[in-house]
Amino acid sequence: MKELCLELLLLAANYAEYTAPDYCPQISLAPAAEIRRYVCPGRQCPTVGLYIYDKDRLLIQTGRQLSDIPTRSIVLHELVHFLQDVAGETLDSSCEATLLRERVAFWAQEQYLRSNGVDARLEHNMAYYSCDEEPG
């Protein structure tokens, strides 16, 4: 797992233009419900991976195979968030900054998929993110 993480970390750093540290966050498999508890508490959402900023921990949904390219692309996406955290970019928690970080991670994920022969268009995933205030 460590070798795979370091390989994907270098690719993520290259795609997203970060300097890669010489270590990886902990990667664990977790049930979808645990991931949703962090990302979209109390509702359904299609999230299958998560980087937990204050714990240097990356969760990937149980049942995913780390040997397949789509799952590896999810790990790479979350490693972009790890790199953003290491670079200090997560200190800006504004919605706009969060959206930008997500766009960069999806872009890097898309590049990885394409470099592995998967014609992916991930911009539709940004539909789950918005800075609009919910009516209250």
Residue range 5-19: mean pLDDT, rounded: 97
What CATH number is associated with residue 48? 1.10.10
Q: For residue range 29-83, what is the model confidence (pLDDT) as tens digits?
A: 999 999 988 888 888 778 899 999 888 999 999 999 999 999 999 999 999 999 9
Cα separations in angstroms, 125 against 21, 22, 24, 43, 55: 28, 30, 25, 17, 25
Tell me if 120 is assigned to some domain. Answer: yes
Q: For residue range 119-132, what is the model confidence (pLDDT) as tens digits?
A: 877 665 655 566 76
- Of 135, 68, 75, 76, give the one whose Cα is nearest residue 108: 76
Residue range 87-98: mean pLDDT, rounded: 91
Q: Is there a contact between 71 and 60 (Cβ–Cβ < 8 Å)? A: yes
Tell me if 91 is assigned to some domain. Answer: yes
Residue 136 has pLDDT above 60, yes or no: no
Tell me if 135 is assigned to some domain. Answer: no
CA 95 to CA 104: how far, in whole Å? 14
- Domain of residue 20 covers 2-128
Tell me if 33 is assigned to some domain. Answer: yes
Beta partners for residue 61, in sequence order: 30
DSSP state of 94: -
